């Protein structure tokens, strides 16, 4: 595993990174005391890259994802999305940014059960105030291999098919950045491979940027880089690691 230092850019990139975390800290305060979930994370996610975020339980992975996606506010530091700062944006502006530039895929598929597959996928465009075109919806349905399922409801599909609907729904707005939190956590290994293949394709074919939190070294090996968190800090990274190398690095962190 490389140390944290080489992960800072050695040259100033000519275009802004897809996503920049600049000195992010996050402290949760409650009556029981305070927890420093992130203690100063600086990292840039290059455009078109696929990064897995791993680390022991409680190391800050979900907090990092929440802050990066503007779903939660860092205590200090800044998040830049495509060169635009999230700091100081109100909820309306953040919601607009999330709808237009971010895609989300979670372990729970979060599909609306009363809507058809077609309408679930079309929803993000409707939320931006735009009437979706049939060919747009069918293009992403085709991309995730679900042609012919447009009229089904989520409950009539397998878990893997539901997750593919969730990916299609995230793809339809052509977001700059995809956030995935344990996207294959509830799926068997062959279905997981298909889902991870779709995320890989989003980066390879469309130049989108994927940030995926996972506990699974096999899933993480689909990413070109694994970023390790430990105790709220970046502990290192591995590029193009095998599942065995990634698992070994995780065991080292958990020791
Ligand atoms: N809303 C909250 N209030 C208080 N503490 C919190 C809150 N959310 C997270 N924490 C604490 O912050 C730390 C980091 O939590 P986080 O969920 O980001 O870790 P994680 O790496 O995603 O863990 P896991 O792998 O178990 O999901 C933990 O100590 C956790 O208990």
Q: What is the per-residue pLDDT across 156-199, written as a single tens digit (0 to 9) for each?
A: 999 999 999 999 999 898 899 999 999 888 888 888 898 899 89
Ligand 1 centre to CA of 141 (Å) is 35
Question: Which three-class secondary structure state does DSSP give residue 203?
Answer: helix
**Tokens in use for 38?**
């992130």
**Both structure tokens of 193:** 């491979």
What tens digit of pLDDT does each residue of 138-155 get? Answer: 999 988 889 899 999 999
What is the atom index within ligand 1 of the atom nearest the CA of 64? 18
pLDDT at position 13: 52
DSSP track, 71-136? SS--SEEEEEETTEE-TT--HHHHHHHHHHHEEEEESS----TTS-HHHHHHHHHHHTT-PPPHHH
Task: List pLDDT tens digits, range 3-18.
Answer: 544 444 444 556 778 9
The ipTM is 0.98
Segments in the chain forming alpha helices (H): 61-68, 91-101, 117-127, 134-143, 159-171, 189-206, 217-220, 243-254
pLDDT digits (tens, 9 = 90+) for 82-125: 888 999 899 999 999 998 899 998 888 889 999 999 999 999 99
Say if ligand 1 is within 6 A of residue 94 CB. no
HSE at residue 62, side-chain half, CA atoms within 13 A, is 9
Give me 70's structure tokens: 């503007």
Measure 20 CA to ligand 1 centroid, in angstroms: 21
Which pTM value belongs to this model?
0.90
Name the closest-CA residue to atom 16, ligand 1: 60
């Amino acid at each position: 595993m490389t140390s944290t230092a080489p992960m800072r850019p050695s040259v100033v990139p000519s275009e802004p990174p897809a996503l920049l975390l600049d000195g992010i800290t996050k402290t949760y305060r409650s009556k029981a005391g305070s927890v420093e979930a992130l203690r100063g994370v600086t990292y840039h996610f290059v455009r078109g890259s696929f990064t897995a975020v791993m680390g022991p339980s409680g190391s800050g992975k979900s907090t990092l994802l929440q802050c990066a996606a503007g779903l939660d506010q860092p205590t200090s530091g800044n998040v830049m999305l495509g060169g635009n700062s999230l700091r100081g944006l109100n909820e309306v502006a953040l919601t607009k940014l999330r709808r237009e530039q971010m895609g989300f895929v979670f372990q729970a598929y979060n599909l609306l059960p009363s809507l058809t597959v077609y309408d679930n996928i079309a929803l993000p465009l409707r939320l931006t105030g735009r009437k979706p075109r049939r060919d747009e919806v069918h293009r992403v349905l085709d991309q995730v291999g679900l042609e012919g399922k447009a009229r089904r409801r989520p409950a009539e599909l397998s878990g893997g098919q539901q997750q593919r609907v969730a990916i299609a729904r995230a793809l339809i707005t052509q977001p700059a950045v995809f956030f995935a939190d344990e996207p294959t956590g509830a799926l068997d290994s062959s279905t997981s491979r298909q889902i991870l293949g779709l995320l890989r394709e989003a980066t390879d074919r469309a130049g989108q940027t994927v940030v995926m939190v996972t506990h699974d070294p096999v899933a993480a090996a689909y990413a070109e880089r694994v970023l390790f968190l430990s105790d709220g800090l970046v502990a290192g990274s591995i590029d193009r690691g095998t599942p065995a190398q990634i698992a070994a690095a995780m065991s080292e962190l958990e020791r």
